Amino acid sequence: MLSLSPSFLHLLLALLHILPPALARPATSLWSRQTISPLPSYSDIFSCPATQWAPAPVGIPLTPQAPDAELQAILAEVDPARIEAIIRKLASFGTRHTLSSQTSPTRGIGAARDWIAEQMRSFATASDGQMEVTVPSYIQGVGDRILFPVRISNVVATLKGSVDPGRYYVVSGHYDTRCSDVNDYECDTPGADDDASGVAISMELARIMATRRPAATIVFAAVAGEEQDLYGSNFMAQTYKNASVNVQAMFTNDIVGASTADDGSKDPYTLRIFAQGTPTTESATTASTRATIGGENDSLARELARFVVGVTENKYTQMSIRVVYRLDRFLRGGDHRSFLNAGYAACRFTEPHENFAHQHQNVRVENGTQYGDLIEFVDFDYVARVAKVNVAAIWSLANAPAPPQNVTVNTTVLSNDSQFKWQGSNDALTAGYEILWRPTNAPFWTNSIALGKINTATINLSKDNVIFGIRAVSKNKYASPAAFPFPR
């Protein structure tokens, strides 16, 4: 009979369930929705001898970045009651379809746009001039899902960074809605979950952070035209690209309001993040090199997702993050795609189990089933926890140094050592760098090696056997996402 060691069994279970460390509550399988026993931590999972390529320990086990006192205070300000009030107000406009009225003060996308902008401007009054609210727009001509020329308007609140204002981080939701017929702009479509929940997160973060001074610039956005073909987010991303704005990361919160699945099971402490693999914007040469060296799992989006896990899975958010290694759900799309297409790092947050009777549906009862994206199906405490994930992620990004640039690994000579070089920074935030590594079959970084403020390093660990990344670290221990080294 075949005998399997406990370490191997733990590894097998972990890979089957693809779960992060348990968070002081029963873990819930993303796939089966069954409550299961907590699994070992990733450091335990990858302790089996078969994955240990280093002849001796290299560096130290990587520990999550805990929120400091300021971030804890910000997280404590997230208010489920305010989030509920925003979602209820947005649902009250009857429809927010992109083609609906833009002149009525009470119904349609124009009324919703004006209310969101008014609220954002009220938040900005507490910023001492550091937050600017704009409503950029353009006329979209007749096209895919656009029956007649229509104005597409985004509401954008920009909180200027205090140290590195040229570096941007964006958090967004879309305020337009749809019915069963994507071009029916007359029917009632409250859009409570899709996507008043995501807009409420952008607005709540803008309110809380208006009085704060992040090192880098943070943008809180509500975009239009998502249901018709990502028109608003594409306009926003291309505007940034055309102006050479340094957008380091973007998150869209889309369908983040419900913790109950279509079968009635509940999963109130889990959030999915979708992260694209090899960027479609890479040149054929770069993509080929990435495939050759096994870097398909180390795109900017996936490094961003790893960063999110490291800074948000804690007792302050109470959430587990399920990283899904693909662009989006099957045959679905979201506003992060517009930023990815512009060459920016972007990910999508979405609730763990969607109920398709409650999205893209006319409000009706059919065969005893209630259809429609109604307010009664939103879990406001869950949305508040998702908001805390966004707070922890965007604040940690904006207060960390920028990731190192032009990171390379020397391949000009054959060696079992790994020699790295990167472009050093003289900015006020960077105090030093760390080399991260993980086994090639590990989803997250496992070890770190602290370095000073240098731009070269040689490590007694072969690049052939593990995956490396290099990140910048500030004096107050905020760390950037890792940068993946390409050969030189």
What's residue 9's pLDDT?
Answer: 41
Q: Of 231, 236, 216, 339, whose CA–CA distance to 281 is shortest? A: 339
* Token couple for 359: 């999205």
What's residue 2's pLDDT?
Answer: 42
Structure confidence by residue, pLDDT tens digits, 387-425: 999 999 999 999 999 999 999 999 999 999 999 999 988
Chunk the chain into consecutive blocks of 10 residues (it has 488) and report each block's average pLDDT, rounded to whole numbers: 44 41 38 39 46 67 96 98 98 98 98 98 98 98 96 98 98 98 97 98 98 98 98 98 98 97 95 97 97 97 98 98 97 96 98 94 96 97 98 98 97 95 92 97 97 96 96 96 97
Q: Please list, in sequence order, all residues whose beta carbon lies within 8 angstroms of the beta carbon of residue 415, skipping any fewer than 6 positions away.
A: none
Cβ proximity of 346 and 221 under 8 Å = no
Could you give the CA distance from residue 86 to residue 77 in angstroms, rounded to a whole number? 16
Cβ proximity of 214 and 131 under 8 Å = no
* Side chain identity at residue 401, one-letter code: P
What's residue 424's pLDDT?
Answer: 85
What's residue 33's pLDDT?
Answer: 39
Count the neighbouring beta carbons within 10 Å of the beta carbon of residue 16: 11
Could you give the CA distance from residue 331 to residue 328 in angstroms, rounded to a whole number? 8
What's residue 21's pLDDT?
Answer: 38
Ordered alpha helix ranges (H), 243-357: 284-292, 300-312, 336-341
What's residue 52's pLDDT?
Answer: 54
Cβ proximity of 199 and 86 under 8 Å = yes
What backbone torsions phi and psi does residue 45 show, to the nearest 5 degrees? Answer: -60, -45
